[in-house]
Amino acid sequence: MASEEPLFDPLLKKKKKKKVVAFSEDPLGADADPTTPAPPFEDDDAPTTVHEQMKKSALENGEDVAKENGDEDLQAMFGDLKKKKKKKEIPMDLGEEGSGASTPAEGIATPDLDFSDLKKKKKKKEIPLDLGEDSSSSTPVAKEVEDGAAAPAEDLDFSDLKKKKKSTKKKAQLDLEAFERELGEATGVGTDGAHLDQLDDTELGDDVFAHDGEGGAAQAGAEPWLGSDRDYTYQELLHRFYNQLHAQNPSLFSSAGKRYTLAPPSIHREGNKKTIFANIADISKRMHRPLEHVIQFMLAEMGTTGSVDGSLRLVIKGRFQQKQVENVLRRYIVEYVTCKTCKSPDTLLQKENRIFFVLCESCGSRRSVQSIKTGFQAQVGRRKRTAA
C-alpha cells in the first residue's frame, strides 16, 4: 500500500482520506452498541483507564455531532478557553472541506464541546499546531490560503522529524499533494487521514514525537494567545497521547467493543424455586474458562446452591432474573477473564499450587486472582434439617 501511493494521483489520495475518516466514525457506531443495555453485554462498564475514558468521551461526541453545527453561536457564548479550542477546530473542518469530506471532521472535532478541564487544557496546548488560525475563523477559502502559506515553512521541520517514511513519500509526490497534506497536518487532528495510510508498526511512536515537534516549533514561532508558559502536566500529555493514539488507530475503538460481547445468559424458571441457566456451557466455553470454575463463582456470588443437569445446564436454587445473572457474569468476566493490564479477554486461567493465575495472551502479563470463597452463609430455612 505504502509503495503504491506515490504512483497514484491526488484523486486516489482523497478517496483514501475519506475512507479513513469514515473509519473514525465507525468506532463511534461500534461503541454505541455497548451503551445500550441490550442483551449483548460487555463488561467494561466503568471507564477505569484513560483509554476507556476516551472511548466514553468519543461516544458522547458522536451524539453531539449535530450540536457542533451551531459552532459559531456557541463560540460566542463560551469563555476564552473554549474559544481557543474552537479556533483550533475550525481550521480542521476547513482542511477537510478542502479535501471533500466535511462531516466526519466535525465528528472528530466535537470532543471539545463536553470535555472537562483537562481536555480543555490539552486542546489549548495543541493549538500551536495550526499556525495563524486565530486571526480568521470564518472564511474557508482564506483559511486555506493561509494554511498553504504556513505549510512550506513547516515542511522543513516535518521532513526532519518524521523521518524516512514520511519524507520519502513526500518527495515522490506532487507538490500539490504535499501541500494538501501539510494543510491537514497544520490542523492537527486532520493528520489522521493522511497518516493512516502509512500506518506501520513504528509509525505510532514516530508520529507522536513528530507532533510534539510541530507543537514546539510552532509555539516557538507565534501564537501569543497561547500565553501560558507553564510546563505540561502529566495528565495533559497522557490525554494528548491517547487522543492521538485513537485518532490514528481508529480500529482500537471498534475491536475492543466487538470482542467483549457474549451471548446473553438464557434464564428459565424451573418450578417455583429454581432457576435454570441454560447456556452456561456455551458461555464458559467462549470465555475459555472451565465450566466448574464459572459455576463455583456464580453460586458463591449469589449465595445459593445449585447443580448441573444432564444437558449441562445449571440449576440454581432461588429465583433469579436474567439481568441479575448477567450482572454476576459480568463480575466474573472482570475478575477472571479480562486482563487487568490491557483489558484483553484473551487470557488463560492457570492453577499453581492452589492459586489461580490469569495469563494474558495478548500482553503476556500474569496476575494472581482471588480464589473463590463462599464466605459466610447465613442459616436459611429450617434448622432441623441442617443439624441432622
Partner 1 sequence: MNVDNLQQFDPLQDDLLGETDEVGSQKEHIHIRIQQRNGRKTLTTLQGLGKEYDLKKILKAFKKEFACNGNIVDDAELGQVIQLQGDQRQKIQNFLVEAGVDKKTINVHGF
Q: Which amino acid is at 265?
A: P
3-state DSSP assignment of residue 224? helix
Q: Output 58 or 314, the one with its CB closest to partner 1.
A: 314
| Min dist. Cβ of residue 352 to partner 1 (A) | 13
| Min dist. Cβ of residue 131 to partner 1 (A) | 47
The dihedral through the CA atoms of 240, 244, 245, 247 has a sign that is positive
* CA 256 from centroid of its chain's CA atoms: 8
| Min dist. Cβ of residue 372 to partner 1 (A) | 11
Q: What span, in angstroms and rounded, lies between the C-alpha atoms of 192 and 196?
A: 6
Angle in degrees, CA 341, 346, 352, rounded to 5: 80
Specify burial of residue 171 (Cβ count, 10 A radius: 0-12, 13-18, 19+): exposed
Q: Which amino acid is at 261?
A: T
Measuring CA to CA, how many Å separate 4 from each of 12, 172, 173, 184, 198?
A: 11, 11, 11, 21, 11
Radius of gyration of the chain (CA): 26
Residue 46 has a CB neighbour count (10 Å cut-off) of 9
| Min dist. Cβ of residue 378 to partner 1 (A) | 5
Q: Output 136 or 324, the one with its CB closest to partner 1.
A: 324
| Min dist. Cβ of residue 329 to partner 1 (A) | 10
The dihedral through the CA atoms of 168, 173, 175, 178 has a sign that is negative
Q: Output 219 or 324, the one with its CB closest to partner 1.
A: 324
Q: What span, in angstroms and rounded, lies between the C-alpha atoms of 89 and 249?
A: 20
Q: Output 10 or 318, the one with its CB closest to partner 1.
A: 318
The dihedral through the CA atoms of 363, 194, 236, 92 has a sign that is negative
| Min dist. Cβ of residue 236 to partner 1 (A) | 27
Q: Output 266 or 327, the one with its CB closest to partner 1.
A: 327
Q: Give every strand in the sheet of 347-352, ordered side by side.
A: 347-352, 355-360, 366-369
| Min dist. Cβ of residue 333 to partner 1 (A) | 15
Q: What span, in angstroms and rounded, lies between the C-alpha atoms of 248 and 244?
A: 6
Q: Output 325 or 358, the one with its CB closest to partner 1.
A: 325
Q: Return residues touching partner 1 (CB under 8 A).
A: 301-304, 318-320, 324-325, 327-328, 375-378, 380-381
Q: Output 350 or 377, the one with its CB closest to partner 1.
A: 377
Q: Output 92 or 302, the one with its CB closest to partner 1.
A: 302
| Min dist. Cβ of residue 375 to partner 1 (A) | 5
Q: Output 58 or 333, the one with its CB closest to partner 1.
A: 333
Which one-letter DSSP state was computed for residue 128?
A: G
* Backbone dihedral angles phi then psi of residue 371, each to the nearest 5 degrees: -75, 155
| Min dist. Cβ of residue 76 to partner 1 (A) | 42
Q: Give every strand in the sheet of 306-308, ordered side by side.
A: 267-270, 274-277, 314-317, 306-308
